[in-house]
Amino acid sequence: MQLDEVKWGIIGCGDVTEIKSGPPLYKLEHSNLVAVMRRDAEKAADYARRHNVRKWYSNANELINDPEVNAVYVATPPSTHAEYAIQAMKAGKVAYVEKPMAKNYAECLEMIKVSEETGMPLFTAYYRRALPKFLKAKEIVDSGALGEILTVNLQLYKEAIEKNQSPEEMHWHVFPEIAGAGYFYDLASHQFDFLDFVFGPIQSVTGQAANRAGYYPAEDTVSASFDFESGVTGSGNWSFVVEKATERDTIEIIGTEGKISLPCFAAGNLILENSDGKLEFPFEKPDHVAGGLIQLIIDELRGSGKCPGTGISGARTSWVLEEIVKGYYQ
């Protein structure tokens, strides 16, 4: 399909849409945010007022069936991603879905099936595929500056903010019936999607997941080993219940002639180390981190480019995540 102007509707205009992803929908050329939806009508109206959006709804079906809307951004928790994306595509609308793509891999496959049947494009919100720091990392790998890539290593340790919270105070990210799993799905999904962007699909993966602190139902500590179709191997460790002083966030890509390291979430430089020494590449965080990816979506829908964050790639990441934690949920 080809659109002259992308006219967006947001389902779930919560915190994630305030700065990260909402403003680009109306700030970028050939793009306009025409409607928003939230189940709380007062909050929907407030969002619309603050972002100068003409229409708001408290019912998702009404937004999906709004004839002015031709693209739907699903920014709800993962438990409803598939439902709303499928409804949107069946209504003839483009679907752009927050990550992880769905609550489980089976839902991802159903979303892809509907996209193929309806001819409606399906995109996932893994915006690191368009951020300069991560594009630079891919450029260095592709240039051969690291030699033959041997292995990658992921480490992510986060403080347990739930330590003194009651279940009613905890974020939905720690309840598997809503999030699919725990913080691992929310955060490691970005890491694995980036690696998919650089190295292609993972062909085999094994993992272990456990709940060590007992603060909430989901897993809180995870380890994994994985192999890419391209021959690169990898490993990772995650824990979301550490003390603040031991937090860590790093992606390492190691080759025969050097390595690069960069944080996935925290502020920090991309570092290249080889026989010539250490070189740091600083990058400023953009005002709206999802803006670059949204621009690529707009370009594709207008027939002038291609967006790398598709339903196909998003589903691959969901498969990897599910394989790693499935033992915990069996």
Q: Give CATH 3.40.50.720 domain extents, the chain.
A: 6-128+290-308
What is the rounded distance in angstroms from the CA atom of residue 7 to the CA atom of residue 117? 22
Within 13 Å and on the Cβ side, how many CA atoms surround 330? 8
Q: In the beta sheet, which residues pair with residue 208?
A: 223
What is the rounded distance in angstroms from the CA atom of residue 45 to the CA atom of residue 56? 6
What is the rounded distance in angstroms from the CA atom of residue 106 to the CA atom of residue 312? 13
3-class state of residue 161 by DSSP: coil
Angle at which helices 189-199 and 311-329 pack, to 10 degrees? 130
Check residue 235 and give its pLDDT: 98
Task: Name the nearest CA neighbour of 229 among 256, 262, 205.
Answer: 205
pLDDT digits (tens, 9 = 90+) for 261-320: 999 999 999 999 999 999 999 999 999 999 999 999 999 999 999 999 999 999 999 999
Q: In the beta sheet, which residues pair with residue 124?
A: 97
What is the rounded distance in angstroms from the CA atom of residue 318 to the CA atom of residue 37? 26
pLDDT digits (tens, 9 = 90+) for 190-216: 999 999 999 999 999 999 999 999 999
| Confidence at 1, pLDDT banded by 50, 70, 90 | confident
Question: Where would I find the beta strands (DSSP E) of 160-218?
Answer: 202-210
pLDDT digits (tens, 9 = 90+) for 145-196: 999 999 999 999 999 999 999 999 999 999 999 999 999 999 999 999 999 9
Check residue 14 and give its pLDDT: 94
Check residue 228 and give its pLDDT: 98
17-39 average pLDDT score: 98
What is the rounded distance in angstroms from the CA atom of residue 221 to the CA atom of residue 207? 11
| Confidence at 143, pLDDT banded by 50, 70, 90 | very high
- Domain over 132-284 is classified CATH 3.30.360.10: yes
Check residue 52 and give its pLDDT: 98
Phi and psi based region of residue 256 (left: phi greater than 0; alpha: psi -120 to 50; beta: remaining): alpha
- Contact assessment for residue 196 and residue 313, using Cβ atoms and an 8 Å cutoff: yes
Peptide bond into 100 cis (omega under 30): yes
pLDDT digits (tens, 9 = 90+) for 101-120: 999 999 999 999 999 999 99
Mark out the alpha helices in the chain (DSSP H runs): 22-27, 41-50, 60-64, 81-90, 105-118, 132-143, 176-179, 183, 189-199, 291-301, 311-329
Check residue 171 and give its pLDDT: 95
The domain 6-128+290-308 is classified under which CATH number: 3.40.109.10, 3.90.1150.10, 1.10.3720.10, 3.40.50.720? 3.40.50.720
Q: Give CATH 3.30.360.10 domain extents, the chain.
A: 132-284
What is the rounded distance in angstroms from the CA atom of residue 124 to the CA atom of residue 101? 6
- Contact assessment for residue 72 and residue 96, using Cβ atoms and an 8 Å cutoff: yes
pTM of the model: 0.97
Check residue 238 and give its pLDDT: 99
Share above pLDDT 70 across residues of the chain, in percent, rounded to a whole number: 100
Check residue 284 and give its pLDDT: 92
Neighbours of 20 (CB within 10 A): 18
Within 13 Å and on the Cβ side, how many CA atoms surround 209? 22
Question: Does residue 66 carry a pLDDT above 90?
Answer: yes
Amino acid at 110: E
3-class state of residue 22 by DSSP: helix
| 145 class by beta-carbon count within 10 Å (0-12 exposed, 13-18 middle, 19+ buried) | middle
What sign has the CA pseudo-torsion 130, 134, 140, 141? negative
